[in-house]
């Protein structure tokens, strides 16, 4: 059974490693802050002191980091993942980054004799715990098929979408919907509230209507009470919206609702709500409508 390496043990990365360990995989890992990884070490993950050491010890190396800059930090340099790659190894990046950056990294991985896939995920830490995470995979199809058993230990759906960078593109196309849906939901909710319908009643109707997507059913209740754990904050959501707008300009695809939703994310940050889950867009809109946050 392939040894799996994992770099980036934040909320999502930790959940993924937990599922790999539960499936009986041997996992070696690294995180910038070791204390955050200690529960995984206690559960059986083997610690390594650098990303390079993880790559050297593993057959399949995975990363889940915040953005393109963080990806560069863990892959480049003498202690980076690239330095530890070699023939026969597969590197899978599960982060949400620009397709161009992903393609460039794939070329550098190939120079080391290894193979790379960009395989972002759809879901949250809750989805990971429930075993419902899905992957959208870009790169070589045969490589995707070779590592699919590893990915299926994490979640039940692996969809091959095309060559290098296409997984990243598909993730951006998916994520732009999150903020757009949240903004539309907030507009309907606040229209009803300002017309005299209690917010809780309006939310109940909307979340049990035809417009209630899985994302809204999960995140909709956050308009009534902030979640105990912030899974996807305003800044992270806006990072993905900006990636989408960049790709829209590159591919000549107009993204009008994405642009408007992005502006409301800016407004949400300007009101000091950037640390909250992006459902806080409703609070920014409520303030503009003269309603309680």
Q: Does residue 22 sit in the same domain as residue 63?
A: yes
Task: Write phi, then psi, for 139 (nearest 5 degrees).
Answer: 135, -155
Model pTM greater than 0.85?
Answer: yes
Q: Does residue 105 sit in the same domain as residue 200?
A: no
Q: Does residue 158 sit in the same domain as residue 232?
A: no
* % of residues, the chain, pLDDT over 90: 92
Query: Is 135 within the bounds of a domain?
Result: yes
Domain that holds residue 261: 170-288
194 near 289, Cβ under 8 Å?
A: yes
Tell which residue, 128, 144, 67, has the closest CA to residue 101. Answer: 67
The two tokens of residue 254 are 């107009």
Q: Per-residue pLDDT averaged across 72-91, rounded?
A: 97
Q: Does residue 64 sit in the same domain as residue 110?
A: yes
Verify whether residue 225 is a known catalytic residue. no
Tokens 């899974």 correspond to 231
Q: Which of 39-43, 53-57, 62-66, 121-125 has the lowest mean pLDDT?
A: 121-125
240 near 172, Cβ under 8 Å?
A: yes
Report pLDDT for 1: 75
Q: Does residue 274 sit in the same domain as residue 153?
A: no
Report pLDDT for 110: 98
Report the CATH number at residue 281: 1.10.1040.10
Q: What are residue 158's DSSP bridge partners? A: 135
Q: Per-residue pLDDT averaged across 207-230, rounded?
A: 93
Alpha carbon distance 264, 241 (integer Å): 11
Query: Is 196 within the bounds of a domain?
Result: yes
Catalytic residue among 103, 171, 239, 276: 171
- Report how far apart, in Å, the C-alpha atoms of 25 and of each of 85, 158, 173, 269 are: 20, 18, 32, 41
The two tokens of residue 159 are 């969809």
- Tens digit of each residue's pLDDT (9 = 90 or more) over 224-265: 999 988 889 999 999 999 999 999 999 999 999 999 999 999
Q: Does residue 144 sit in the same domain as residue 22?
A: yes
Which residue, 115, 133, 163, sits at the end of a domain? 163
179 near 261, Cβ under 8 Å?
A: yes
Mean pLDDT of the chain: 96
Query: Is 17 within the bounds of a domain?
Result: yes
Tell which residue, 96, 154, 160, has the closest CA to residue 125. Answer: 154
- Tens digit of each residue's pLDDT (9 = 90 or more) over 90-149: 999 999 999 999 999 999 999 999 999 999 999 888 889 888 899 999 999 999 999 999
Report pLDDT for 159: 98
Coil, helix or strand at residue 64: coil
Overall number of domains in the chain: 2
> HSE (CB half, 13 Å, CA atoms) of 172?
26
Q: Per-residue pLDDT averaged across 137-162, rounded?
A: 97
Which residue, 98, 128, 163, sits at the end of a domain? 163
Alpha carbon distance 21, 183 (integer Å): 38
Alpha carbon distance 66, 230 (integer Å): 14
Report pLDDT for 124: 86
Does the structure show a pLDDT above 80 at 223? yes
Q: Does residue 137 sit in the same domain as residue 12?
A: yes
Which residue, 93, 128, 163, sits at the end of a domain? 163
Query: Is 50 within the bounds of a domain?
Result: yes
Query: Is 293 within the bounds of a domain?
Result: no
Q: Does residue 68 sit in the same domain as residue 35?
A: yes
Report pLDDT for 231: 81
pLDDT band at 3 (very low <50, low <70, confident <90, very high): very high
Q: Does residue 191 sit in the same domain as residue 275?
A: yes
Query: Is 242 within the bounds of a domain?
Result: yes
Tell which residue, 209, 232, 202, 210, has the closest CA to residue 219. Answer: 232
CB atoms within 10 A of CB 250: 11
Taking every pair of Cα atoms in the chain, the longest distance, rounded to a whole number of angstroms, is 66
Q: Does residue 154 sit in the same domain as residue 174?
A: no
Q: Does residue 154 sit in the same domain as residue 221?
A: no
Q: Per-residue pLDDT averaged across 56-67, rounded?
A: 97
Alpha carbon distance 65, 72 (integer Å): 10
pLDDT band at 41 (very low <50, low <70, confident <90, very high): very high
Q: Does residue 103 sit in the same domain as residue 174?
A: no
Report pLDDT for 293: 76
CB atoms within 10 A of CB 25: 21
Report the CATH number at residue 104: 3.40.50.720
């Amino acid at each position: 059974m392939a040894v799996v390496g994992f770099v980036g043990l934040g909320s999502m990365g930790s959940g993924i490693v937990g599922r790999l360990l539960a499936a009986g995989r041997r996992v070696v890992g690294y995180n910038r802050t070791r204390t955050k990884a200690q529960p995984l070490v206690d559960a059986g993950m083997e610690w390594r002191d650098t990303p390079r050491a993880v790559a050297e010890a593993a057959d399949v190396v995975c990363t889940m980091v915040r953005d393109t800059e963080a990806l560069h930090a863990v892959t480049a340099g003498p202690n980076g993942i690239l330095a530890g790659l070699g023939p026969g190894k597969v590197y899978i990046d599960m982060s949400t980054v620009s397709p161009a950056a992903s393609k460039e990294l794939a070329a550098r991985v190939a120079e080391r004799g290894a193979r790379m896939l960009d395989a972002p995920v759809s879901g949250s830490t809750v989805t990971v715990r429930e075993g419902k995470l899905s992957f959208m995979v870009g790169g070589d199809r045969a490589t995707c098929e070779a590592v699919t058993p590893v990915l299926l230990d994490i979640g039940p759906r692996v969809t091959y979408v095309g060559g290098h960078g296409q997984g990243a593109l598909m993730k951006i196309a998916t994520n732009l919907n999150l903020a757009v849906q949240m903004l539309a939901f907030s507009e309907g909710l606040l229209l009803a509230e300002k017309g005299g319908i209690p917010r809780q009643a309006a939310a109940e109707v909307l979340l049990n209507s035809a417009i209630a997507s899985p994302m809204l059913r999960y995140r909709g209740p956050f308009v009534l009470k902030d979640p105990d754990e912030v899974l996807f904050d305003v800044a992270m959501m806006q990072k993905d919206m900006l990636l989408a707008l960049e790709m829209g300009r590159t591919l000549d695809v107009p993204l009008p609702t994405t642009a408007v939703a992005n502006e409301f994310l800016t407004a949400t940050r300007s009101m000091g709500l950037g640390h909250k889950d992006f459902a806080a867009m409703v609070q920014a809109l409520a303030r503009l409508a003269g309603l309680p946050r």
